[in-house]
């Protein structure tokens, strides 16, 4: 099948002093092979928690309490520590907002890039050559000589390029990028997005791109998943979701003016109201307190996901229930 990653009804909770925090609830999504999916939502909506869980990374106080994360049909949430480590080295890679998260400050770039290739065939010098080639590909000048450098010797933008080189060195099937350009200025951001797009086309990997920049997602991604307070509220192709948003939350984000996203909107707009308490999740639709269309049914019944403008475009809102209005 052409589906690389399938998340089915995934729920993750965190233990907190106030009780169980239900950070992710009933998440469904699909990433086809070689596609770029944007994961968008306000801060605290669970997009980073979801992205990390795809790589088998759930914080120590967190538990997967239901559902499955299937990578080519194999459940990541049931893998042993060793299987996870092998998966992360080979099939799934990550890049982060802060490149230093992925880099060891006291080990040279060359050594780190050798270590990443621990399961790959070839001699040490072949692996060094591969590392230098990859650094050169991401635009590090004088790449072979830079293998002896330490992470702090690179500027912020160059450091993110090094991380991208490291993440793609083992030719993963899936790259998870958690706001990789948020810390960079606009010029560097454009360059990094362009680089990711080129590399994705060359290498054919799928990308899950976590972002709160709608404009960046519109530029880079094929598909988009919109999250709100720990749930997926809408998903589909960028074209369908951004030009024909079906969920009132997505509509609020786009301010009913899709033409704006390509040009100006870098940040998620602020919409009125506060996020619900995820320790005491309200019954009904999670968006009801902020939704201009909410009616009685919304406060009593959690909406299921409905087909919106096409078969791959889905939204969780009672407005889409042809029978129930
Ligand atoms: Fe608004 Fe009701 Fe749809 Fe929720 S289900 S988004 S409250 S209309
Ligand atoms: Mg985040």
Residue 226, pLDDT score = 97
Atom of ligand 1 nearest to the CA of 294: 7
Ordered DSSP codes for 242-293: HHS--SHHHHHHHTT-THHHHHT--SPPP-SS-PPPSSSPPSS-TTGGG-TT
Position 112 in a domain:
no
Closest CA to 49 of 135, 194, 176: 176
Residue 67 CA to ligand 2 center (angstroms) comes to 22
Position 113 in a domain:
no
CA distance 192 to 207: 14
Does residue 301 have its Cβ closer than 6 Å to ligand 1? no
Closest CA to 219 of 40, 32, 29, 3: 40
- Asked if ipTM goes beyond 0.90, one says yes
Does residue 317 have its Cβ closer than 6 Å to ligand 1? yes
Does residue 232 have its Cβ closer than 6 Å to ligand 1? no
Cα torsion at 230, 234, 236, 240 (round to 10°)? Answer: -150
Position 314 in a domain:
yes
Provide the residue-wise pLDDT of the chain in tens; the chain has 325 residues.
699 999 999 999 999 999 999 999 999 999 999 999 999 998 889 999 999 999 999 988 999 999 999 999 999 999 999 999 989 878 999 999 888 888 999 999 999 999 999 888 999 999 999 999 999 999 999 999 999 999 999 999 999 999 999 999 999 999 999 999 888 888 899 999 999 999 999 999 999 999 988 888 999 999 999 999 999 999 999 999 999 999 999 998 887 445 455 444 445 666 777 778 999 999 999 999 999 999 999 999 999 999 999 889 999 999 999 886 5
Position 182 in a domain:
no
User: Is residue 87 helix, strand or coil?
Assistant: helix
Q: Closest Cα to atom 5, ligand 1: which residue? A: 317
Hey, CA dihedral for 256, 262, 265, 266, is it positive or negative? Answer: positive
Atom of ligand 1 nearest to the CA of 318: 5
- pTM value is 0.93
Position 226 in a domain:
yes
Q: Could you count the other beta carbons within 10 Å of the beta carbon of residue 9?
A: 11
Beta-bridge mates of residue 7: 29, 69
Hey, CA dihedral for 185, 191, 194, 200, is it positive or negative? Answer: negative
Residue 119 CA to ligand 2 center (angstroms) comes to 31
Please return the burial class of 267, using the count of CB atoms within 10 Å of its CB with bins 0-12, 13-18 and 19+.
exposed
Does residue 95 have its Cβ closer than 6 Å to ligand 1? no
Hey, CA dihedral for 59, 65, 69, 73, is it positive or negative? Answer: positive
Atom of ligand 1 nearest to the CA of 298: 2
Q: Could you count the other beta carbons within 10 Å of the beta carbon of residue 122?
A: 11
Pairing type for strands 231-237 and 62-71 reads unpaired
Residue 306: which CATH number? 3.40.50.300
Does residue 246 have its Cβ closer than 6 Å to ligand 1? no
Residue 47, domain extent: 3-80+208-320
Give the chain's domain count.
1
Position 185 in a domain:
no
Atom of ligand 1 nearest to the CA of 293: 8
Q: Which ligand is nearest to the CA of 321?
A: 1
Does residue 266 have its Cβ closer than 6 Å to ligand 1? no
Contact between residue 295 and residue 214 where contact means Cβ atoms under 8 Å apart: no
Q: Which two tokens stand for residue 146?
A: 């830079």
Q: State the number of CA atoms in the 13 A half-sphere of 198 facing the CB.
A: 11
Residue 256, pLDDT score = 45
Question: Mutate which of 272, 303, 321 to test ligand 1's pocket (most atoms within 8 Å of Cβ)?
Answer: 303
Position 68 in a domain:
yes
Position 145 in a domain:
no
Atom of ligand 1 nearest to the CA of 291: 1
Does residue 96 have its Cβ closer than 6 Å to ligand 1? no
CA distance 145 to 129: 11
Closest CA to 245 of 319, 324, 304: 319
Does residue 23 have its Cβ closer than 6 Å to ligand 1? no
Question: Largest alpha-carbon pair distance within the chain?
Answer: 68
């Amino acid at each position: 099948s052409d589906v690389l990653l399938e998340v089915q009804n995934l729920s993750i909770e965190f233990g907190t002093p106030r009780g169980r925090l239900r950070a992710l609830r009933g998440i469904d999504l699909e990433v086809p092979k070689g596609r770029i999916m944007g994961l968008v939502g306000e801060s605290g909506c669970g997009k980073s928690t979801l992205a990390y869980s795809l790589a088998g990374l759930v914080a120590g106080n967190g538990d997967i309490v239901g559902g499955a994360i299937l990578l080519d049909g194999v459940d990541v949430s049931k893998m042993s520590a060793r299987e996870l480590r092998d998966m992360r080295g080979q099939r799934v890679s990550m890049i982060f907002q802060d490149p230093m998260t992925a880099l060891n400050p006291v080990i040279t770039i060359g050594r780190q890039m050798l270590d990443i290739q621990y399961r790959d065939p070839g001699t040490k010098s072949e692996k060094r050559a591969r590392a230098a080639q990859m650094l050169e590909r991401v635009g590090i000048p004088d790449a072979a000589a830079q293998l002896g450098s330490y992470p702090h010797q690179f500027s912020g933008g160059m450091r993110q390029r090094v991380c991208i080189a490291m993440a793609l060195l083992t030719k993963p099937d899936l790259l998870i990028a958690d706001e990789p350009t948020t810390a960079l200025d606009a010029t560097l951001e454009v360059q990094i997005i362009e680089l990711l797009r080129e590399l994705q086309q060359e290498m054919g990997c799928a990308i899950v791109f976590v972002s709160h920049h709608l404009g960046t997602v519109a530029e880079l991604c094929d598909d988009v998943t919109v999250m709100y307070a720990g749930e997926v509220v809408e998903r589909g192709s960028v074209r369908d979701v951004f030009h024909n948003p079906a969920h009132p939350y997505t509509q609020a984000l786009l301010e009913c003016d899709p033409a704006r996203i390509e040009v100006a909107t870098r940040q998620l707009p602020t919409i009125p109201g506060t996020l619900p308490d995820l320790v005491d999740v309200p019954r009904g639709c999670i968006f009801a307190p902020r939704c201009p269309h909410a009616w009685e049914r919304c406060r009593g019944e959690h909406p299921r996901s409905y087909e919106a403008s096409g078969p791959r475009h889905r939204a969780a809102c009672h407005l889409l229930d042809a029978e129930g209005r």
